[in-house]
């Protein structure tokens, strides 16, 4: 005896592929490369401040303690880093103009 199923009974989740397609993967990789380049050209003191804040999620106080600098200096360096990255990304068409 042959068993039949209606289309409505089939669980499509096991058939559908939610993985991003090649163009999306390539686009994301290019965006990451541009962001890496933007971070690499930051001034020497701005780079670690940005990395500690945005990627390691440390507070300005924790960054100040770790780097041995004042908390207002952390804030100023972070502002400089973010602006610099925004300008770099805009110049490389990775960010819409303001």
pLDDT at 15: 52
Residue 64 has pLDDT above 90, yes or no: yes
Mean pLDDT over residues 46-73, rounded?
Answer: 96
In CATH, the number for domain 44-98 is 1.10.10.10
Whole-structure pTM value: 0.68
Q: Would you kindly state where each structural domain of the chain is located, as residue ranges?
A: 44-98
Considering the chain, what is the average pLDDT of its residues?
Answer: 83
- Alpha helices in the chain, H assignment, sequence order: 22-40, 46-50, 60-67, 71-91
pLDDT at 78: 96
Q: What is the pLDDT of residues 88-98, one digit of tens each?
A: 989 987 665 55
Spatial distance between the Cα atoms of 28 and 90, rounded to a whole number of angstroms: 16
């Amino acid at each position: 005896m042959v068993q039949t199923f209606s289309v409505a009974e089939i669980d499509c989740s096991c058939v559908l592929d939610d993985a991003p397609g090649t163009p999306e993967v390539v686009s994301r990789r290019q965006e990451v490369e541009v962001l890496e380049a933007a971070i690499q050209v930051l001034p020497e003191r701005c780079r670690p401040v940005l990395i500690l804040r945005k990627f390691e999620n440390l507070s300005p106080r924790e960054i100040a303690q770790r780097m041995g600098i004042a908390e207002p200096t952390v804030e100023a360096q972070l502002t400089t880093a973010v602006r610099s990255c925004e300008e770099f990304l805009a110049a490389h068409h990775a960010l819409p103009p303001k």
